[in-house]
Amino acid sequence: MAKSIPRIGSRRNGRSSSRKSARRIPKGIIHIQASFNNTIVTVTDVRGRVVSWASAGACGFRGTKKGTPFAAQTAAGNAFRTVVNQGLQRAEVIIKGPGLGRDAALRAIRRSGIRFSLVRDVTPMPHNGCRPPKKRRV
């Protein structure tokens, strides 16, 4: 008979506490992906492991409201709420995308008390790569 594999975090093997809040993170990386339809804010540690994330859609905004600056500000605030309790003080900010939530998310970071060492824009820019779609006929 095959031996059963114990599940990590189950009550049977005695480990029931979550290890997310136990980690102390003095420095991290904040990734902001701002499209026209949504804004996703991800907070990682220096090695790239995700600590916290939030998006405008996950914060309860639906439809065209997801692309607004206020939705991006709310998403950024929700992402930082857990991370500030874990001791994040300094962070690098990596912004990607052309959306309206870029500046609003940066303002929310500054208001939360996290100091950032650098702000990098990694928006992909095509060097006349793909052929555009044919003109729309109405």
> What strands, in cross-sheet order, belong to the sheet with 50-55?
50-55, 39-45, 27-34, 90-96, 115-121
Q: Got the DSSP string for 70-132?
A: HHHHHHHHHHHHHHHHTT--EEEEEEESS-THHHHHHHHHHHHT-EEEEEEE-----SS-SPP
Residue with tokens 């949504």: 38
pLDDT at 18 exceeding the cut of 60: no
Domains within the chain, CATH numbers bracketed: 27-121 (3.30.420.80)
Total length of the chain: 138
Using one digit for the tens of pLDDT, what is the confidence trace for 47-96? 999 999 999 999 999 999 999 999 999 999 999 888 888 888 899 999 99
Enumerate the β-bridge partners of residue 59: none
Q: Which pLDDT value is given to residue 19?
A: 57
Using one digit for the tens of pLDDT, what is the confidence trace for 91-117? 999 999 999 989 999 999 888 888 888
pTM of the model: 0.76
| Chain centroid to CA 136 | 35
At residue 10 the predicted structure's pLDDT band, cuts being 50, 70 and 90, is low
